């Protein structure tokens, strides 16, 4: 998770995408932490706080996404927390991200590159990066990233390993390029969005699939750059398991 900036920019309020008695999926805006931690810096209003105010204090995040990333986050309560955490680790669970990246990224790539954990120990990590659309007038592309493992900053690290960092990435991107994209196209956030989340629900005994629409702070600049909308409406529910 990206460290807290000194003065975080204002963020939109989260939105409830789906809920049943034991689970809920929230649309987290860019700039908001999923939950407070000593590592993230001083305490602030988080997605966890917003959920507690709306649904009750017994709801907790099952997984997390970076502060700068927008999109779907799964919450649960009671015994469902552990059960859904296990469900998200299964091969039939799906996590798809959309990203605006630097340069011309085309084709379909399986990335197998270890990602260090919080203690610096390398962990196996596997992603699929699919080029969706290349801008004809900006040095950028739209890609979809599917995670087969869930490591810290995995999507950002893996697209960077292909030579195409996410726009606005202060950790693995290029600060000069990020400034240029902010000035030219108004992208003042990490251009990464958790667009699709699905799992085989152990309580409902059925697959739950949630789509989180791309927010306006990315659709507007992506449209101006000519990389939105993507072709084929993403076909977001399809998964290709790497050999």
The catalytic site residues sit at: 66
* Cβ 120 vs Cβ 148: under 8 Å: no
Nearest Cα to Cα of residue 20 among 205, 236, 212, 215: 205
> Do the beta carbons of residue 191 and residue 172 sit within 8 Å?
no
Cβ-defined contacts of 57-66 (< 8 Å, 24+): 59/24, 61/34, 61/35, 62/23, 62/88, 63/88, 63/150, 64/1, 64/34, 64/35, 65/28, 65/34, 65/194, 66/1, 66/2, 66/153, 66/156, 66/190, 66/192
CA–CA separation, 178 and 184 (whole Å): 10
Start-end of H helices in the chain = 47-55, 80-88, 154-161, 175-185, 216-225
According to DSSP, the residues that pair with 71 across neighbouring strands are 28, 194
């Amino acid at each position: 998770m990206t460290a807290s900036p000194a003065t975080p920019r204002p963020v939109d309020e989260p939105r409830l995408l789906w809920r049943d008695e034991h689970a809920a999926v929230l649309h987290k805006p860019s700039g908001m932490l999923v939950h407070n931690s000593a590592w993230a810096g001083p305490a602030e209003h988080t997605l966890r706080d917003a959920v507690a105010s709306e649904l009750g204090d017994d709801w907790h995040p099952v997984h997390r996404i970076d502060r700068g990333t927008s999109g779907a986050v799964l919450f649960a309560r009671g015994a469902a927390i552990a059960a859904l955490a296990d469900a998200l680790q299964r091969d039939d669970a799906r996590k798809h991200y959309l990203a605006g990246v630097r340069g011309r990224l085309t084709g379909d790539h399986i990335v197998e590159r270890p990602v260090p954990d919080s203690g610096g120990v390398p962990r196996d990590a596997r992603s699929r990066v699919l080029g969706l659309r290349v801008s004809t007038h900006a040095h950028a592309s739209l890609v979809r990233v599917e995670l087969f493992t869930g490591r810290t900053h995995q999507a950002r690290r893996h697209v960077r390993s292909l030579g195409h960092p996410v726009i606005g990435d202060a950790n693995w991107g290029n600060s000069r390029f990020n400034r240029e994209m902010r000035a030219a196209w108004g992208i003042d956030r990490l251009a990464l969005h958790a667009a699709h989340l699905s799992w085989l629900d152990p309580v409902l005994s059925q697959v739950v699939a949630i789509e989180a629409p791309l927010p306006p702070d990315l659709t507007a600049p992506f449209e101006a750059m000519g990389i939105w909308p993507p072709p084929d409406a993403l076909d977001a529910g399809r998964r290709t398991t790497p050999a």
